[in-house]
Chains A and B, each alone.
Chain A
Amino acid sequence: MTDTPEAVGGAVDVVPAGAPTLPVIDVRSGMFGSSGSGDTSGYGGLVRTVEMPAPTARPFGGWFDEVADEMDLALQDDGLSLDAAVEAVVVDRGEVTFHVRAEHLLAFVRRLRDESALRFEICTGVSGAHYPHQTGRELHAVWHFLSITHNRRVRVEVSAPESHPHVPSIVSVYPADDWHERETFDMFGIVFDDHPGLTRILMPDDWVGFPQRKDYPLGGIPVEYKGATIPPPDERRSYSS
């Protein structure tokens, strides 16, 4: 009791006030990721959260600040600002991610393409991701843009809840995104509003379900060998955490 921080030398701010909270994408219990059968590791009571890298505060470092400032200036011509359009900016592993609000996505990408200081000519496509633990923001659509002129890349991420999985389509700005959005719809069920023809592209047209969501099973079958049966990969005992 006599060696608490307050007693030793005054209150210590371990976590500074106003620090951004880490986005938690999962909570796991037990060790080694085993579930179902008896957890014999002895760590059955362990509870850990899985967090993605936290949003970064200014300054971002490198050319990321320049892109953010140019974007801010450009969005003001649309009556918006960077803070209004963007929920968070994450700078991690040398890459910058703009978490854009769905309603401002089209304005954002139009500026990405047209502003001379930004000039992200090529949209390399949209990728989906499903984070079932983040209620209200389960489905993410992730775009990557390449600027040949300035030789740099950015990532734009938009979230949508599973109950209303609608995200604006950017095909009117980047026609290259056509099939990519169809694929993300096919695999995740994210409906891209105003897409010229949003139908399944990889699965048969009458397929039910969205295969790459986390609640969709892998769909394998058990394999019978001489004297033994091996269950499919998603039902095997696994030791992955």
Chain B
Amino acid sequence: MNDVSYEAAFDDGVTADAPDTDAYAGAYDTTEGRVYTVTGGDWDTVLAAADGEKERVVVNMGPQHPSTHGVLRLILEMQGETITEARCAIGYLHTGIEKNLEYRTWTQGVAYVTRMDYLAPIANEAAYCLGVEKLLGIVDDVPPRAQLMRIITLELNRISSHLVALATGGMEMGALTAMTNGFRDRELVLDMLEMITGLRMNHAYIRPGGVAQDMPEGGVEKIRAVLKQLPAQLDGVPTMLVDNGIWKDRTSGIGYLDLAGCMALGITGPVLRSAGLPHDLRKSQPYFGYEKFEFDVPTTDTCDVYGRFLVRLEEINQSMRILDQALDMLEPGPVMVADKKIAWPAQLSIGGDGQGNSLEHIRHIMGESMEALIHHFKLVTEGFHVPAGQVYAAIEAPRGEVGVHIVSDGGTRPYRVHFRDPSFNNLQATAAMCEGGQVADVVGAIASIDPVLGGVDR
């Protein structure tokens, strides 16, 4: 065997004199003084070494940690149990989606964009497609059935996203049954999304011009059955947690961010609504036909974690109300825009060998219409052209306002797409919410912001 020796590429501090030094921890000098990294077990040696120097304890939470919000790193400077400084370090899930979009066609972008905020994928797709349609100028040409399907899937997504927020928030604060109940109820909603879109998550369903597929046969009845079943089942979480003394003690008065703070930090979503302002883009700047629906915008005025918990619970009820009305409004019709130069050409169906284009569509493009074949080919491989310009489209996602700034250079690929994700913005409130509080309340405050690191880092 070869005897290979490697030059030490970095100084991990392990020497013959100090063989027990941890490769991941050590001491080094900075402008602020000597910094000791402690990974457990060596606390006494560090204390002895740092004797006499002014002590500042900085605790690092994450990026891998039991909290389920993703790879968020919290850097907390503590004085005993009290937080004196709280900072977030993000970027551990940066995927370069925005740059990737510049190398894909407009419709392919939907598959990328849906994976940003992965708990509300339909919301991402909806914002992106609203932007593309604004650039194309076809916002009013999207058929009404497609708009209703968008609203149905958006509200189903809102319910499932809020259920995860409540479930994980409860679990992180110790109410483990909230997690099991929340995920159990979420499965019902995911079944509905799977029935409509084909996938439980990251459905590339909303496409520029409409939606990918129509509601399947019997779908409306199935959704109505779930809507009947859900309130009774969802009652488990409220009965358990609302007006529960322990839960109220744990969540009242913590994570406080009043209206002035929300405005300064540009916070939108349930956090803003817990400060008393009924701002909801579905009401103020409606899209997809939301102005035809009757629903309330729930608010509380306690500005704390308990208030946001109540707001999310009530938003689930309002979403079910919207779903009821949307199912009543459904009329038969197309689900893609009529303009054949933009409309996604595929007509998918389940055949003997799995999912593929339906036989009528194949017969049409192969036997009947050369133009249809050319359109199908060009639209799938090259994509449609979008006139040059820039646009900003925003919708109300479960976490707040998700805005997308799209620049087109007239081609088949976006020139620049930037997503203004609500979690990215709202996480800036961590410092305001946590500093001065106890370290145990940090978890609750972050849970109430409900960040999804996929959207934060993109």
Q: Which residues of A contact B (CB under 8 A)?
A: 25-26, 33, 50-53, 92-95, 97, 121-125, 127-130, 142, 144, 146, 148, 151, 153, 155, 174-180, 183, 187, 200-204, 211-212, 218-219, 233-234, 238-241
Given A92-B389, A176-B425: A124 in contact with B420 (beta carbons within 8 A): yes
Question: For residues 96 through 150 of chain B, which have their beta carbon under 8 Å from a beta carbon of chain A?
Answer: 96, 98-100, 103-105, 134-135, 137
Q: Could you give 15 example pairs across A and B, Cβ below 8 Å?
A: A33-B411, A50-B411, A51-B388, A53-B388, A53-B389, A124-B266, A124-B403, A124-B420, A129-B418, A144-B405, A155-B390, A175-B428, A202-B90, A218-B99, A240-B411
Contacts of A33 in B (CB 8 A): 411
Given A176-B265, A176-B266: A52 in contact with B388 (beta carbons within 8 A): yes
The answer to whether B392 and A153 touch across the interface, beta carbons within 8 angstroms, is yes
Contact of B413 among A123, A125, A129, A240 (CB under 8 A): A240
The answer to whether B388 and A144 touch across the interface, beta carbons within 8 angstroms, is no
Contacts of B94 in A (CB 8 A): 202-203
Q: Is B383 an interface residue (CB 8 A)?
A: yes
- Starting from the known contacts A127-B416, A201-B90, A240-B383, 6 additional A-B residue pairs (CB-CB under 8 Å) come to A25-B415, A127-B420, A129-B416, A174-B264, A179-B427, A211-B99
Closest 7 CB pairs of A and B: A176-B266, A127-B418, A202-B91, A202-B94, A233-B103, A240-B412, A127-B405
The answer to whether B264 and A176 touch across the interface, beta carbons within 8 angstroms, is yes
In the complex the two chains form, what is the Cα distance from A82 to B392 in whole Å? 23
Contacts of B103 in A (CB 8 A): 218, 233-234, 238
The answer to whether A52 and B390 touch across the interface, beta carbons within 8 angstroms, is yes
In the complex the two chains form, what is the Cα distance from A200 to B457 in whole Å? 12
CB proximity of B386 to chain A, nearest CB, Å: 11
The answer to whether A93 and B420 touch across the interface, beta carbons within 8 angstroms, is no
The answer to whether B424 and A179 touch across the interface, beta carbons within 8 angstroms, is yes
Range, interface on chain B: 35 or more
CB proximity of A209 to chain B, nearest CB, Å: 12
Given A50-B409, A144-B405, A234-B103: A239 in contact with B91 (beta carbons within 8 A): no
The answer to whether A211 and B96 touch across the interface, beta carbons within 8 angstroms, is yes
CB proximity of A195 to chain B, nearest CB, Å: 13
The answer to whether A175 and B416 touch across the interface, beta carbons within 8 angstroms, is no
Q: Is B211 an interface residue (CB 8 A)?
A: no
The answer to whether A93 and B405 touch across the interface, beta carbons within 8 angstroms, is no
Contacts of A155 in B (CB 8 A): 390, 392
- With CB as the reference atom, state the residue of chain B lying closest to A153: B392
The answer to whether A201 and B428 touch across the interface, beta carbons within 8 angstroms, is no
The answer to whether B381 and A148 touch across the interface, beta carbons within 8 angstroms, is no
Q: Which of B78-86, B200-208, B277-285 participates in binding chain A?
A: B277-285
The answer to whether A142 and B99 touch across the interface, beta carbons within 8 angstroms, is no
Contacts of B90 in A (CB 8 A): 201-202
The answer to whether A124 and B394 touch across the interface, beta carbons within 8 angstroms, is yes
Q: Is B359 an interface residue (CB 8 A)?
A: no
In the complex the two chains form, what is the Cα distance from A180 to B265 in whole Å? 11
CB proximity of A119 to chain B, nearest CB, Å: 11
Contacts of A128 in B (CB 8 A): 418
Question: For residues 380 through 427 of chain B, which have their beta carbon under 8 Å from a beta carbon of chain A?
Answer: 381-383, 385, 388-392, 394, 401, 403, 405, 407, 409-413, 415-416, 418, 420, 424-425, 427
The answer to whether A124 and B134 touch across the interface, beta carbons within 8 angstroms, is no
CB proximity of A72 to chain B, nearest CB, Å: 23
Q: Is B199 an interface residue (CB 8 A)?
A: no
The answer to whether A233 and B100 touch across the interface, beta carbons within 8 angstroms, is yes
Contacts of A179 in B (CB 8 A): 424-425, 427-428
- With CB as the reference atom, state the residue of chain A lying closest to B407: A129
In the complex the two chains form, what is the Cα distance from A238 to B412 in whole Å? 11
In the complex the two chains form, what is the Cα distance from A211 to B102 in whole Å? 12
In the complex the two chains form, what is the Cα distance from A92 to B408 in whole Å? 13
CB proximity of B455 to chain A, nearest CB, Å: 12
Contacts of A97 in B (CB 8 A): 390
Task: Name which of A142, A239, A240 has the most chain B CB atoms within 10 A of its CB.
Answer: A240
CB proximity of A81 to chain B, nearest CB, Å: 26
Contacts of B265 in A (CB 8 A): 175-176
Q: Is B448 an interface residue (CB 8 A)?
A: no
Given A124-B401, A240-B105: A178 in contact with B420 (beta carbons within 8 A): no
Q: Is B49 an interface residue (CB 8 A)?
A: no
Contacts of B413 in A (CB 8 A): 240
Contact of B411 among A127, A177, A241 (CB under 8 A): A241
The answer to whether A50 and B418 touch across the interface, beta carbons within 8 angstroms, is no
CB proximity of A49 to chain B, nearest CB, Å: 10
Given A97-B390, A233-B100: A122 in contact with B268 (beta carbons within 8 A): yes
In the complex the two chains form, what is the Cα distance from A212 to B94 in whole Å? 12
The answer to whether A212 and B105 touch across the interface, beta carbons within 8 angstroms, is no
In the complex the two chains form, what is the Cα distance from A237 to B15 in whole Å? 53
Given A179-B428, A203-B91: A93 in contact with B137 (beta carbons within 8 A): yes
Contacts of A211 in B (CB 8 A): 96, 99
Q: Is B440 an interface residue (CB 8 A)?
A: no
Contacts of A52 in B (CB 8 A): 388-390
